[in-house]
Chains A and B, each alone.
Chain A
């Protein structure tokens, strides 16, 4: 649907008229409008005054923090490197910065329709993740080596997030295919695994990977704690994503499989050339939702002892001089999460609407 300028102004006029009618049509509606908008405006005023007008910005002015009623952003000015990069060596922070930019760029690029084919997305994410890993680890690029123990803050959160999505997506597809298989043992295996993992809290799964697996595995298979947790988290992601794929599979008419078979195509040809491209399209909005939820859920790794952005935030106000300013640090971290999650979520909503129109 394309709109001309005249159309737009007319629609705006209609909207304003309807807004007046709905918001101020009766005396009661007017009173509610005034109260709610007044309350919202007052809250916004309080927030702006606290966060901007009365705030202290620079770390040098920390002495003034006691006098003002506003926020003391000095703590962010002084400690933002700790929050963003954890205990990563200070002089190597340019590497963390670039690595984080690589992951964020990967996520943003995936949102463009030009990237929407399985191959392009796979290449994009593998390249983005590899860039991150090479920069952070360093030894392969001839830089100073920093092992995963030294990673932290937002950089670690982004690492966990991208590794989980990258590993979990093919696992989810595999589980979804297994669940649709004609072979009863394969189907049962996928069903039990998916339902089992989905009934347990994420924390239980991650805790099992971190603490229980070393007992169950022979020592040569144990690996690093961080990789065990990533694989378990990816399995969790895969079990939910498999259900997303399953829903998308159900939207594909059965006749298409049969048409493929009648043409003499094998199982893998039917899947990769005929069915999966459509499945990915149908699954896109729910997949974005899953990715957003995964990013939010990474915050839980603080409990099993990782130095993620929430843990580094706690460390940032942990020292005596900054401890009164815990509120500013938490709000800073909450704002980081909020911006990521809100924008991705809105994008998912927009996509859902667009696809609903295309389907009509």
Chain B
């Protein structure tokens, strides 16, 4: 092959690549411009003014659940924020619970004891192989068919389950104090991680401090004349005192936790499985107890391969909260969907919904990357 043809071929290939890329760019731009144009026409035909001005208008409709006071006079921005808070609340509670449960079940799946292993396998195979939304509506139906408060199913007369939800004892604290307590505990968790305390011991310290701190706050800062513990009591047709968790929230957290923990258990089992046999045997030879082998050898070694897929599961759980609308839990998707029906500001609302999920999932991914970097073995 002489030089000119090679040069020719190179030039032709470069030209072709340039044309393909220009075409792709052009098609994308045309598609976006076309979408903007037809959006303008369609919105004009519907008589909708675009923009975020509607956020200040009062909504005029109520929804099922919020952590803070709500009213139908709330503006859209506040209602959307409440929905976002509900999503984060259910997401983080479910992530927390399913991680702990997944760690336990995954360890059981890795157990040499055949019976423990079998029980964990049954758990994983049941909850992983049925669609989450089916589990949620199933559980919700079961819960709303529970007897009313007067015939509520009870455990030790302190925890009650009725068709109104789950009533359980709580600390007698005002909302502000409870919020402050929560933030303190969160700060403590961050501080423990930053001080590079080993994860498991750190969690132990955190749990012990939390219990102690809650008890002390409850004794010192309880509202005037209140008892330390508030226990639900049947007064007439409803319960007074304690914490009431509405049916929708119980169904959401329980179903997401069961489903998520089955997946996390598989991640944990995979990680524990990858720890070389020789290391556990070395632990046995040193006379370590099974608990010490698990806590000091297996888990620290396994965490390195567990954390990346675990992060994916956390993001998955966050995304799974959108099933709330199927059982009437007012998460962000529910609120956005309702707002679209009521206000017609479809594009703005879907933009906010997407932005919120991108923000949360991106933050979780950042956190997991950071955790992962911290866990990797340092090069010597």
Contacts and interface: CB of A to CB of B under 8 A. Distances in A.
Contact of B141 (A182, A208, A216, A326): A326
A337 B115 contact: no
B28 interface: yes
Interface residues of B, number: 54
Interface string A287-320: 0000000001101101100000010001000000
A22 B362 contact: no
Given A183-B21, A327-B142, A334 B130 contact: yes
A33 interface: yes
A208 B131 contact: no
A199 interface: yes
A68 to B, nearest CB: 18
Contacts of B131: 296-297, 299-300, 310, 337
B90 to A, nearest CB: 13
**Which of B24, B125, B129, B322 has most A Cβ within 10 Å?**
B129
Contacts of B25: 185
A199 B314 CA distance: 12
Interface in A16-38: 19, 22-23, 29, 32-33, 35-37
Interface residues of A, number: 51
B205 to A, nearest CB: 29
**Which of B35, B130, B132, B340 has most A Cβ within 10 Å?**
B130
A196 B131 CA distance: 24
A303 B327 CA distance: 10
A203 interface: yes
A22 B134 contact: no
B43 A215 contact: yes
Nearest to B142: A327
Given A217-B38, A299-B133, A334 B138 contact: yes
B44 to A, nearest CB: 11
Contacts of B114: 19, 22-23, 33
B83 to A, nearest CB: 14
A345 B124 CA distance: 12
Contact of B115 (A33, A200, A334, A345): A33
B38 A218 contact: yes
A182 B128 CA distance: 40
B347 A212 contact: yes
A110 B354 CA distance: 36
B357 to A, nearest CB: 6
24 contacts: A22-B114, A23-B114, A32-B113, A33-B113, A33-B114, A36-B119, A40-B122, A189-B24, A201-B320, A201-B322, A201-B333, A203-B323, A215-B346, A216-B38, A216-B39, A218-B34, A296-B131, A299-B133, A303-B326, A314-B137, A327-B142, A330-B137, A342-B125, A345-B128
Given A23-B115, A40-B119, 10 more contacts: A22-B113, A40-B122, A204-B333, A207-B333, A211-B346, A215-B39, A215-B43, A296-B130, A300-B133, A345-B128
Interface of B: 17, 20-21, 24-25, 28, 34-35, 38-39, 42-43, 112-116, 118-119, 122, 125-126, 128-135, 137-138, 141-142, 145, 315, 319-320, 322-323, 325-326, 333, 337, 340, 346-347, 350, 353-354, 357-358, 361-362
Interface of A: 19, 22-23, 29, 32-33, 35-37, 39-40, 182-186, 189, 196, 199-204, 207-208, 211-212, 214-218, 296-297, 299-300, 302-303, 310, 314, 326-327, 330, 333-334, 337-338, 341-342, 345
